[in-house]
Amino acid sequence: MSASPALSATPPAQGSASAPTQADLLDFVRRVAADAELIASLPLDPEGRTWVRLEGPGGSEAWLIGWPPGTGTGWHDHAESVGAFIAATGELRENSLAVRLPADGWRTLELTDDVDRERQLPAGQGRSFGRHHVHEVLNESTDRHAISVHAYYPPLPRIRRYSRTGPVLRLEQVERPEDWQ
pLDDT per position as a tens digit, 160-170: 999 999 999 99
Integer Cα distance of 144 and 160 in angstroms: 28
Which has the higher per-residue pLDDT, 180 or 131? 131
Residue 88, pLDDT score: 98
Cβ neighbours of 98 (radius 10 Å): 10
Total structural domains within the chain: 1
Q: Could you read off the pLDDT of 41-65 as tens digits, one per residue?
A: 999 999 999 999 999 999 999 999 9
What value does the mean pLDDT of the chain take? 90
Of the candidates 83, 77, 97, 76, the residue with the CA atom closest to the CA atom of residue 126: 83
At 6, the pLDDT band (50, 70, 90 cuts) reads: very low
Integer Cα distance of 135 and 127 in angstroms: 12
Residue 116 in domain: yes
Mean per-residue pLDDT, 89-106:
89
Residue 102, pLDDT score: 77
Query: Which residues constitute the domain of residue 52?
Result: 19-179
Residue 181, pLDDT score: 63
Of the candidates 66, 111, 60, the residue with the CA atom closest to the CA atom of residue 81: 60
Residue 104, pLDDT score: 74
Half-sphere exposure of 83 (CA within 13 A, CB side): 23
Task: Say what the pTM is.
Answer: 0.88
Residue 57 in domain: yes
Residue 30 in domain: yes
Mean per-residue pLDDT, 144-149:
98
Q: Could you read off the pLDDT of 116-135 as tens digits, one per residue?
A: 999 999 999 999 999 989 99
- Round to the nearest angstrom and report the end-to-end CA distance of the chain: 11
> Which domain CATH number covers 76?
2.60.120.10
Amino acid occupying residue 113: D
Q: What distances in angstroms separate CA 49 from CA 69, 78, 80, 115, one per listed residue?
A: 10, 18, 24, 28
